[in-house]
Amino acid sequence: MTDEKNYEVLEFLSTIPDPRIDRCKRYSLESILFVSLVAMLCGADSAHEIVDFADGNENWIKNYVELSEGIPSHDTISRVFSLIHKNIFCRMFTEWTQFLQKRTEGEEKKGNKVIAIDGKTLCGSLGNDLKGMAHMLHAWSVENGLCLGQQAVKDKSNEVTAMLPLLKMLDLKGCIVTADAIHSHKGTARAIIEQGGDYVLPIKDNEKTFKEEIETLFQDAFKKGFRGIDADEYETLGKGHGRMEYRKYWMIDAEELPSAQDWVGLKSVGFCIRERTIKDKTTKEEVFFATSLELDAKLFSGVVQDHWQVENKLHWVVDVTFREDKQRYKNKVMAQNLSCLRKIAFNILKKDSRKSSLKSKRLRAASSLAYREEILKNYL
C-alpha cells in the first residue's frame, strides 16, 4: 500500500469486490458493509442485532448511504458476508491497519516495536454443514494496541500455512516478531528477515534437533558458570492477584551451533525459566528460543512477555466485549468475514482517545449521535 493513499475505512470497504450478480442486488455492498460496521461500533454483535440497530437509526443511516429499499434483512446480511472471499477481506483489512499504524507513528513510543502473532478459533462457527470450526491467525501490535492483520485458516492444524501470507502483508521494518512454537521454522525466520524484521521464536519438539543443540549449549554454559562465554542474563519478579511469578532469562551467542547457518539472521539463542506460585503451589516452565537479536537479555525478556498481549488484549477482549465466541454462523466464510469487520470496529474504538473501556465506548456510540459522528469523521 502506498503512502499517498488517503485510505479511510469507507474507501477500504469500497475496494472489496461485490460477489453478487447484478439482478440479485437490492442493496449496494457499500451500504451493507457500512450499516454492519456502524452497528458493531454501537454494540451489535450478530446479523439480527445489526438489523435491530439499523431499524432504529434508518433516517440517520440514510445521511451516509443509499437505503431506498429500506433496511436489509438479517438473511441478506448473512448471505453477503458468506459470499465475500475471506482472503480478500483479510487483505483489505490488513492494508487499512497498516495505514492506520503509519498515520499514528508520531504517537508511538520510541524503541523496538513488537508484533505478536497467534491464532484464534471462532467457536460459534461449527454449523450443521461444517466439519470443523473456522480459525483466524492474528498479528497484534504491542505498542499501538491494534490488530494489524489477520489471515483466514482452514482449521487450527493448518495455521502454519497461513503464516507466510500474513507476514508478506505486514510492514515488519524495525519490528520484532513473536509467535507460538508451531510457527518456529526456518521458513518463518527467513520470511521475517526478508521483510526487514527480527524474530524471537520458541523452540520446542517440532524442531527437535535444533532444540537439543540449544539445550546442550546451555548445559555446557551452566557447567562452566558462563566463564569465557559471550552471554547476557536478566531476571524479573512479579507479584499480584495472589500469585508470585519469577522469571530468569539467559542469552548466548549462537555462532557455534551446528544448525546456526540454517536459520537466516540467527544471532543468539535464549533460555527462560518461569516459576509461578499461587498460594502454596509452584509450577515451573523452561523454554528455549531462537532470535535474530543481539545479546540483550532485558530486551529479550520484554519481548517474550509481550507476546501474551495478543491473548490478553485482543482474543480475550473480542470474546468479552464483542461476544465473538458466542455468535453462531451459517458457514465458516461468514464467520471469518464478520471476524474481520469486528477487528475494524475494535481498532477504531481502541484509537479513540477517551479513557474508557471498549464496552463503554460502544454504549456511548449507540446513545450519543455526537460521539458516533465524531468517530465517523475521524476514521470512516
Q: Is 78 exposed, middle or buried (0-12, 13-18, 19+ CB in 10 A)?
A: buried
The answer to the question of residue 65 being in a domain is yes
Any idea what DSSP says for residue 72?
P
The answer to the question of residue 193 being in a domain is no
Range of the domain at 77: 1-107+331-380
Beta strands in the chain, from DSSP E residues, in sequence order: 113-122, 134-141, 146-153, 175-179, 198-203, 231-240, 243-253, 268-278, 281-291
pLDDT for residue 42 is more than 80:
yes
pLDDT computed for residue 99 by the predictor: 80
The answer to the question of residue 174 being in a domain is no
The answer to the question of residue 335 being in a domain is yes
pLDDT for residue 83 is more than 80:
yes
pLDDT computed for residue 106 by the predictor: 54
**Confidence label for 86 from pLDDT (cuts 50, 70 and 90):** confident
Calculate mean pLDDT across residues 250-255. 96
Sequential DSSP letters for 178-202:
EE-GGG-SHHHHHHHHHTT-EEEEE
Q: Is 116 helix (H, G, I), strand (E, B) or coil?
A: strand
- Measured between alpha carbons, how far is 154 from 223 in angstroms, rounded to an integer? 46
pLDDT computed for residue 297 by the predictor: 97
Query: Mind listing the pLDDT tens digit for each residue in 303-346?
Result: 999 999 999 999 999 999 999 888 887 788 888 899 999 999 99
- Per mean pLDDT, which range of 11-15, 61-65, 373-377 is the poorest? 11-15
pTM of the model as a whole: 0.89
pLDDT computed for residue 160 by the predictor: 84
Query: Mind listing the pLDDT tens digit for each residue in 164-206?
Result: 999 999 999 999 999 999 999 999 999 999 999 999 999 999 8
Query: Mind listing the pLDDT tens digit for each residue in 113-160?
Result: 999 999 998 876 555 444 567 888 999 999 989 999 999 887 666 788
- Measured between alpha carbons, how far is 138 from 171 in angstroms, rounded to an integer? 14
- Scored b (16 or more CB within 10 A) or e, 352-378 reads beeeeebeebbebbbeeeebbeebbee
In percent, how much of the chain has pLDDT > 70? 92
pLDDT computed for residue 87 by the predictor: 85
| Residue 168 · residue 177 · CB < 8 Å | no
The answer to the question of residue 212 being in a domain is no
The answer to the question of residue 125 being in a domain is no
The answer to the question of residue 266 being in a domain is no
Residues 6+ apart with CB under 8 A from 34: 10, 13, 61, 64, 65, 380
pLDDT computed for residue 15 by the predictor: 86
Beta pairing partners, 280:
none
pLDDT for residue 71 is more than 50:
yes
In the chain, the number of structural domains is 1
The answer to the question of residue 69 being in a domain is yes
